[in-house]
């Protein structure tokens, strides 16, 4: 592997130029000295145009391949609790995990803006590598493009992911049944609030940290102990409100949330009150919503609380027969109102 | 499926807004009315966060999974012979195919710039759908993000791809042997020249059309008839020059190209002469370079010429013992010179 660190084009003092995306020697040096080194694994080191993965090894994990993709365009690129790299790993790992899949392989495609500091790229690739290590996935294939100044925003990352769903695991939004309990694994809105603060949009000084974390370990534990989970989804853009609406619509049922049961950090609650926003609509990057039969709910919560990613797990609602597709919230005042589904953005570029 | 075409947010008269990427109802309508409809298939229609694909069906095709990713940032978005959508399908299909894989599934992740015409998005999604149909792949999972005006450039598309490599197929740049012949499937530089003209950078009126096409059908035919192929790669960014340099470096051999054998359209040759560029360095989007044992070369060329994607196939060079990693070109004048490997870009944002 070449690490011509004396070359100004790839040294940490340098900036990304259009040449870094043009398919020549400069691009090769950048990729080899930063990405291949950070993500160190045999498939990537071959530098072929595609990773080649042993089928028998993959098929040993289950009977269905899970395949997902997400582009990350978060602003700012670095924030308390993570950066665009940790987000790109954990977000895609979680999109696999909520199908019950064991996440195995990720791709990493970079769109860099001319002028990006190479030191920043190196830092973010290192945190992607760390996050992949924690999540137990390998980044096995990649791509780098560079766009001129003013045609991008520092960097965008796409990760696609491959995982395998074990036989017998059947999770689907459409499976929610009347009487089921709605469970979350912890506090709501931490990521959205942290991004808002990191952008400098808030005048207050609050202790806001993104909850960015992989959820597949928690989910594997949940399914091992209580395989009766009906539906599972991570609550990112659109927040928990978005997920429960999807559950209600896909199942043709109604969902009622209990306002007094919603776990929200005081600092996040403060942000919401000042801005007139609802933590149910705030993005999360390490939170899931699970729908489980009522009889399994208490033991599920107990199991989740034993896992670091589920310490604040609790029941926040229940599935009702109808009206189909509606979400109600029983308020602290004892009333019941319909929960708003956001039409558009509360906060763009959250992930 | 909802197709609320009276809604100004998703009608063809509208423009993309930040709300289209924010995870709410407006984003759902956009995705359902444009992408899900265009890519129509059961995995995508589930609208889960991941496609779930039958493992037995996949594993029946071979013993290794091929996995690849590419982001497409081409400027302009539409050009003679294709658009960013056809490029995003064929480019990723070809990155799978050159491993000998049968391409099966693609993802599609969009980064849209606020202000993009929805009619243009719909047109490009339709051509992606057509290209996927021609290539015999399904687009099974996706993602949509929107960035503010001035933070993107109309649209970027990432496609990742999954394919399966049949047992016994072993293609690798490192396998090039002295005496092997270097073959291409047709004329060089058509895509690069077409993009250059489409940008209005050329004062001349030439008949320049991108060669954007899927290569897996041609490759399957080549491997079926002549399984002795040593190395195979599609020549995109960096052109045929980039590929032969990679072959020479990975195998520790030298490659000599025959200048008088290089197939170049007169119109492309004209562009090269005017600009002082070399068609060997121009990007292609439907051209491959194959390295095969000398004794198989003539029959391979004959087989390729029977396929629509290989009508102009010919031998353009040979592998020599050394010097390791070098590429020579025997010129029309009867001399031999070293071929330049471009340091950076000849033409950025070609794909």
Segments in chain A forming alpha helices (H): 25-30, 37-38, 42-45, 55-59, 84-97, 118-135, 190-198, 216-225, 239-251, 266-275, 294-305
Q: Which chain B residue lies closest to A142 (C-alpha atoms)? A: B69
More confident call, B68 vs A24: B68
Q: Above 90 in pLDDT, residue A90?
A: yes
Closest approach of A256 to chain B, Cα-based (Å):
19
Which of chain B's residues have a Cβ under 8 Å away from the Cβ of A72?
Answer: 145
Band of residue B7 on the pLDDT scale cut at 50, 70, 90: very low
Report the candidate in A156, A157, A136, A160 with the shortest Cα–Cα distance to residue A68. Answer: A160
Looking at the partner chain, which of B55, B64, B145 has a beta carbon nearest the beta carbon of A52?
Answer: B64
Q: Reading across the β-sheet that carries B314-320, which strands appear in turn?
A: B231-234, B288-292, B181-184, B314-320, B254-258, B327-330, B336-338
Q: What does the alpha-carbon distance between residue A290 and residue A313 come to, in Å, rounded to a whole number?
A: 10
Q: What does the alpha-carbon distance between residue B311 and residue B315 come to, in Å, rounded to a whole number?
A: 13
Tens of pLDDT, residue by residue over A214-235, are 999 999 999 999 898 999 999 9
Closest approach of A22 to chain B, Cα-based (Å):
5
Residues across chain B? 351
B316 phi and psi, to 5 degrees? Answer: -120, 0
Alpha carbon of B119 to those of A77, A152, B85, B257: distances in Å?
31, 22, 14, 46
Query: A173-338 is classed in which CATH architecture?
Result: Alpha-Beta Complex (3.90)
Looking at the partner chain, which of B64, B109, B150 has a beta carbon nearest the beta carbon of A54?
Answer: B64
B280 phi and psi, to 5 degrees? Answer: -65, -25
Beta-carbon separation of A69 and B19 below 8 A:
no
Looking at the partner chain, which of B26, B71, B347 has a beta carbon nearest the beta carbon of A344?
Answer: B26
Picking from A114-123, A248-257, B20-29, B170-179, which range would have the lowest pLDDT averaged per residue? B20-29
Max CA distance (Å), chain A: 68
Average pLDDT over residues B303-308: 97
More confident call, B199 vs A104: A104
Topology (CATH level 3) of domain B18-165: 60s Ribosomal Protein L30; Chain: A; (3.30.1330)
Residues of chain A with CATH 3.30.1330.10: 18-165
Tens of pLDDT, residue by residue over B246-274, are 999 999 999 999 999 999 999 999 988 88
Band of residue A247 on the pLDDT scale cut at 50, 70, 90: very high
More confident call, A275 vs B79: B79
Q: Above 90 in pLDDT, residue B159?
A: yes
Cβ proximity of B99 and A59 under 8 Å: no
**In chain A, % of residues over pLDDT 90:** 75
| Interface probe with A: pick from B160, B248, B288, most Cβ of A within 10 Å | B160
Which of chain B's residues have a Cβ under 8 Å away from the Cβ of A285?
Answer: none
Residues 6+ apart with CB under 8 A from B236: A23, B91, B94, B191, B283, B284, B285, B350, B351
End-to-end CA distance of chain B: 33
Which of chain A's residues have a Cβ under 8 Å away from the Cβ of B47?
Answer: 246, 250
Picking from A237-246, B4-13, B288-297, which range would have the lowest pLDDT averaged per residue? B4-13
Cβ proximity of B246 and B345 under 8 Å: no
Closest approach of B54 to chain A, Cα-based (Å):
5
Looking at the partner chain, which of B20, B46, B341 has a beta carbon nearest the beta carbon of A24?
Answer: B341
- In the 8-state DSSP scheme, what is residue A164? E
Cβ proximity of B245 and B299 under 8 Å: no
Picking from A286-290, B40-44, B275-279, B329-333, which range would have the lowest pLDDT averaged per residue? B40-44
Q: Above 50 in pLDDT, residue A2?
A: no
More confident call, A295 vs B48: A295
Q: Above 50 in pLDDT, residue A14?
A: yes
Beta-carbon separation of B345 and A147 below 8 A:
no
Closest approach of A287 to chain B, Cα-based (Å):
15
Q: Above 90 in pLDDT, residue B333?
A: no
Mean pLDDT of chain B: 91
Tens of pLDDT, residue by residue over B194-241, are 998 898 867 767 789 999 999 999 999 999 998 989 999 999 988 999
Band of residue A154 on the pLDDT scale cut at 50, 70, 90: very high
Closest approach of A14 to chain B, Cα-based (Å):
15
Residues of chain A with CATH 3.90.650.10: 173-338
Q: Which chain B residue lies closest to A106 (C-alpha atoms)? A: B67
Q: Above 50 in pLDDT, residue A7?
A: no
pLDDT of residue B257: 97
Band of residue A323 on the pLDDT scale cut at 50, 70, 90: very high
Which of chain A's residues have a Cβ under 8 Å away from the Cβ of B172?
Answer: 46, 48
pLDDT of residue B343: 64
Which of chain B's residues have a Cβ under 8 Å away from the Cβ of A74?
Answer: none
Report the candidate in B199, B186, B223 with the shortest Cα–Cα distance to residue B79. Answer: B199
Looking at the partner chain, which of B24, B95, B156 has a beta carbon nearest the beta carbon of A49?
Answer: B95
Tens of pLDDT, residue by residue over A197-210, are 898 867 767 789 99
Buried (b) or exposed (e) across B273-298, using 16+ Cβ within 10 A? eeeebbbbbbbbbbbbbbbbbeebbe
Q: Above 70 in pLDDT, residue B99?
A: yes
Q: Reading across the β-sheet that carries A231-234, which strands appear in turn?
A: A231-234, A288-292, A181-184, A314-320, A254-258, A327-330, A336-338
Determine whether A334 is exposed, middle or buried from the number of CB atoms within 10 Å of its CB (0-12, 13-18, 19+). exposed
SS3 A285: coil
Closest approach of A313 to chain B, Cα-based (Å):
22
Band of residue B8 on the pLDDT scale cut at 50, 70, 90: very low
Beta-carbon separation of A345 and B153 below 8 A:
no
Q: Above 90 in pLDDT, residue A48?
A: no
Sign of the torsion angle spanned by Cα atoms A116, B155, B71, A234: positive
Average pLDDT over residues B72-89: 97
Tens of pLDDT, residue by residue over B48-62, are 789 999 999 999 999
Beta-carbon separation of B109 and A70 below 8 A:
yes
Question: Which residues lie across from B105 on neighbouring strands?
Answer: B138, B162
Closest approach of B49 to chain A, Cα-based (Å):
6
Q: Above 80 in pLDDT, residue A16?
A: yes
Residues 6+ apart with CB under 8 A from B158: A69, A71, A109, A158, A160, B69, B70, B71, B72, B88, B107, B108, B109, B111
pLDDT of residue A214: 97
Which of chain A's residues have a Cβ under 8 Å away from the Cβ of B287?
Answer: none
Cβ proximity of B229 and B290 under 8 Å: yes
Which of chain A's residues have a Cβ under 8 Å away from the Cβ of B347?
Answer: 22
pLDDT of residue A11: 56
Q: Which chain A residue lies closest to B58 (C-alpha atoms)? A: A65
pLDDT of residue A9: 47
| Interface probe with A: pick from B10, B14, B18, B24, most Cβ of A within 10 Å | B24
More confident call, B44 vs B135: B135
Closest approach of A45 to chain B, Cα-based (Å):
12
Which of chain A's residues have a Cβ under 8 Å away from the Cβ of B68?
Answer: 49-51, 107, 141
**Count of CB pairs separated by less than 8 Å, A with B:** 268
């Amino acid at each position: 592997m070449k690490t011509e660190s004396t070359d100004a084009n790839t040294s940490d003092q340098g900036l990304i130029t259009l040449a870094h995306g043009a398919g020549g020697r400069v691009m090769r040096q950048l990729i080899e000295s930063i990405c291949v080194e950070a993500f160190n694994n045999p498939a990537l080191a071959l530098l072929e145009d595609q990773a080649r993965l042993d089928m028998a090894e993959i098929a040993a994990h289950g009977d269905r391949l899970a395949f997902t993709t997400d582009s990350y365009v978060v602003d700012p690129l670095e924030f308390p609790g993570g950066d665009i790299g940790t987000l790109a790993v954990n977000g895609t790992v979680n999109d696999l995990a909520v199908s019950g899949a064991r996440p195995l392989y990720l791709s990493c495609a970079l769109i860099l803006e001319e002028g990006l500091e190479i030191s920043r790229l190196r830092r973010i690739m290192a945190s992607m590598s760390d996050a992949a290590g924690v999540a137990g996935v390998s980044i096995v294939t990649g791509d780098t493009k560079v766009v001129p100044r003013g045609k991008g925003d520092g960097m965008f990352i796409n990760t696609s992911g491959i995982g395998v769903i074990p036989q017998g695991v059947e999770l689907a939004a459409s499976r929610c049944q009347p009487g089921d309990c709605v469970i979350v694994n912890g506090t709501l809105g931490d990521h959205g609030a942290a991004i808002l603060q990191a952008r400098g949009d808030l005048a207050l000084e609050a202790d806001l940290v993104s909850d960015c974390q992989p959820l597949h370990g928690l989910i594997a534990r949940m399914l091992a102990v209580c395989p009766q989970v009906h539906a599972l989804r991570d609550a990112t853009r659109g927040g928990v409100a978005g997920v429960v609406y999807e559950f209600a619509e896909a199942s043709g049922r109604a969902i009622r949330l209990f306002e007094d049961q919603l776990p929200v950090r005081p600092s996040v609650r403060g942000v919401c009150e000042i801005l007139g926003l609802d933590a149910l609509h705030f993005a999360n990057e390490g939170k899931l919503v699970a729908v489980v039969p009522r009889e399994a709910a208490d033991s599920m919560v107990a199991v989740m609380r034993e896992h670091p990613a589920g310490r604040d797990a609790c029941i926040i609602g229940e599935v009702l027969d109808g009206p189909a597709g509606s979400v109600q919230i029983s308020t602290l005042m004892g009333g019941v109102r319909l929960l708003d589904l956001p039409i558009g953005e509360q906060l763009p570029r959250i992930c």
